[in-house]
Structure 1
Amino acid sequence: MDNFSNCVAQTELIQIPVSGLHFTWHNGRQGEDSILRKIDWAWGNQSLLASWPLVKANFQARIGSDHSPISLSLSPPPPRQKPRFKILNLWADQEGYEDTVKAAWESEVWGNPISRLTSKLRILKGYLKLHHVLRTNCISDKARAAKENWRAAQHHLDNHPDDKEASAREREACYCYHKLSADEECFFRQRLRVQWLKLGDKNTAFFHRSLMHRRARNQIHSLKSETGEEVKDPVAMGGLAVDFF
């Protein structure tokens, strides 16, 4: 079992969400000699889940074998939804954040105390959205661009070792990359609710894999209506959930 776990970890495989039978193998005997076990799995890598985020494995009833046949369904990615507003912890450490909050909170509003509070919160939300667009939107792309810029600055400095301006540019590019890299780690750490990893240890690859796994695990592929009908359309599933609750 240890070797199996190590193999899965080293090959960076992720368990695909499954449905159907739980026990995938039966020895075909009856009574006390009957054995049911789950010894079959469905695995995928990060590229598979990135291309087919709704992938799902179904363990079907045994027919001509003592193992359950596995069917893999690939569905196109769901339509991109407008993300919900969420406070990012990394904003608090960024330059200009306190000024942004102060400017929003000093806006003039009228009404009773509760009305003024909610109005200022709405104004602050708009300010922070703009702050996100300017500072933290597409943080991974910015980190990759900063890394390439730092690499180019190092090559230029290597060809011009006595150029003080080249040395200054390399140092600035280095600082920019490490700052964006730390912001990217903080962003993914908050999204995944991982509390035990120390920031600054370059856990970005782990965060990306964990995010793929979490999305696949939490994805709702279908719902059953009161009549037993299986509903797979996202809009229909939403209506079914609203009607139920």
Structure 2
Amino acid sequence: MDNYGDFNNVLSQDEKKRGLSIKNYETQDFVDCVASLDLLDLRFTGCFFTWMSPKVCSKLDRVLVNQRWNSSNLDGFVEFKASGCVSDHVVCIVCIVSVLEQHKQKLKPFKFLNMWTLTNEFVDIVISNWRFNGHGTLQYCLKQLFKGLKQPLEVLNIELFSNISARAVVAKNKLETMQEDMLPSGVMLDDYREVKKNTEMLLESERLFIAQKAKLNYLKHGDKCTKFFHDLIKKKNKRNAIIAIQNQDGITVTKPLEMAH
């Protein structure tokens, strides 16, 4: 930050109320600094404006995090509280929590994974389990049909796709080893085609799984930038997670059990 100094300014027009209008040149250095360092505001509760004079309110105090924070196993939020007569700036309280601890007791809902459709077993499961002999509305019958697929698909996922990234690495290493053995002699091994087909299926399954989880299906088909995907997944999980709730007594709670209650 030594190259930029103390900005003492806002990032946008809506971060100031009353007083003289903000000129673009006044905020440009701060905006450029935040963009070049790839910084984002940490989520916050409490006061939006963090500094006030008798006539002006502005957001001069903030907590910024970088991509390393977003890809870590830590999460947190900021609570901005009025300071009374102590200062014309608000009190800034940062709370840091572990993402692993936060999600430890959370039950994972059933979610259809696109990679399942790459196997022949998927079609067989749908054909053998797509039946319901009861009665009810069309919506109820459809729900029961899908419900009948849930357990068989979970078993399929455990047997063929659990730890998909690790499976893909093992298969890729095996394929490369076979190729290194065959290329000097030119002798084709009997199971080479099967190994190659299985490796391609696992690599494509990994791509579909990570792309679906990161919700970035628009990326090019061959883009397997795994670290990039995982960083985005962690960032989205942090953004979507509820890490603090204010109860009816006005007390902010952060523990998962207390928030659930």
TM-score (structure 2 length as normaliser): 0.66
In the TM superposition, what is the alpha-carbon distance from 1:213 to its structure 2 partner? Answer: 0.5
Query: Which of 141, 144, 148 matches 1:123?
Result: 148
1:5 to 11, 27, 35: 35
Distance 1:222 1:143 in 2: 38
Query: Can you list the C-alpha shifts for 1:14-33, whole angstroms capped at 9, x where unaligned?
Result: 76433455456x5x8664xx
RMSD (CA atoms): 3.7
AA partner of residue 187 (structure 2): K
Contact 2:76 2:96 (C-alpha < 8 Å) held by counterparts: yes
Residues 167 and 102 (structure 1), Cα distance of their counterparts in 2 relative to 1, 3 Å cut = closer
Equivalences for 1:78-117 in 2 at 5 Å?
Answer: 78=102, 79-105=104-130, 110-112=133-135
Residues 139-158 of structure 1: per-residue CA shift (max 9 Å, x gap):
2222232233344444444x
Alpha-carbon displacement from aligned partner over 1:72-119 (angstroms, at most 9, x marks no partner): 52346232433211222222232221111111126xx64436587655
Alignment partner, residue 242 of structure 1: none
Task: Identify the match of residue 18 of structure 1 among 23, 29, 44.
Answer: 44
Q: Tell me what 2:76 maps to.
A: 55
Question: How far did 1:45 drift?
Answer: 4.2
Q: Where does residue 184 of structure 2 map in the other structure?
A: 161
- How far apart in 2 are the matches of 1:96 and 1:151? 27
Q: Flag structure 1 segments of 5+ consecutive residues without an equivalent.
A: 240-245
Alignment length (residue pairs): 225
CA shift in 2, pair 1:29/1:236, >3 Å: closer
SS in 1 for 2:112: coil
Residue 112 of structure 1 aligns to a residue in which SS? coil
> Residues 154 and 19 of structure 1: is their aligned pair in 2 closer, same or farther, counting only changes over 3 Å?
farther
The residue identity in structure 2 corresponding to 1:130 is V
Letter in 1 for 2:251: E
Measured in 2, the distance between the counterparts of 1:49 and 1:119 equals 39
Percent identity of the aligned residues?
A: 23
Aligned to 2:238: 216
Letter in 2 for 1:161: P
2:94 partner SS: strand
Q: Deviations over 1:29-72 (max 9, x none)?
A: 664xx5734474431445775432x4334456687897975635
Q: Tell me the distance in 2 between the aligned counterparts of 1:148 and 1:61.
A: 58
